[in-house]
Amino acid sequence: MTLRFVGIDPNTGGEGSPTVWVEEESADLVLQGEEADALLRALVGSTEWVAGHKTGIPAHERVIRIPARMVPILREACDAAERASAEHRDVR
């Protein structure tokens, strides 16, 4: 597994911070962020976001919060993931 570092929260103080990577082989986004508080988890977990789709947060998933100031970093990561995905399709 190879991770390509895309960016970190520009307001970091040197501790663990929201960070974004792209996993090169799968082109998946990998995100580190602040775990959502109980109120946000309850809202996400109790709302039927897609008709007919089960509510709740599966035990193997987490809701995280990424600061809005990181939107440019997320865009860059999406572009990198899209390029990596296209490269993998071209190779196959």
- pLDDT tens figures, 41-86: 999 999 988 998 889 999 999 999 999 999 999 999 999 999 988 8
Q: What are phi and psi of 68, to 5 degrees?
A: -60, -30
Separation of alpha carbons 48 and 27, rounded Å:
28
pLDDT in tens, 38-48: 999 999 999 98
pTM above 0.75, yes or no: yes
Residue 44: Cβ-neighbour burial (10 angstroms; 0-12, 13-18, 19+)? middle
User: Domain tally for the chain?
Assistant: 1
Q: What is the mean pLDDT of residues 7-30?
A: 90
Which pair of tokens denotes residue 60? 């193997």
Q: Give the model's pLDDT for residue 21.
A: 96
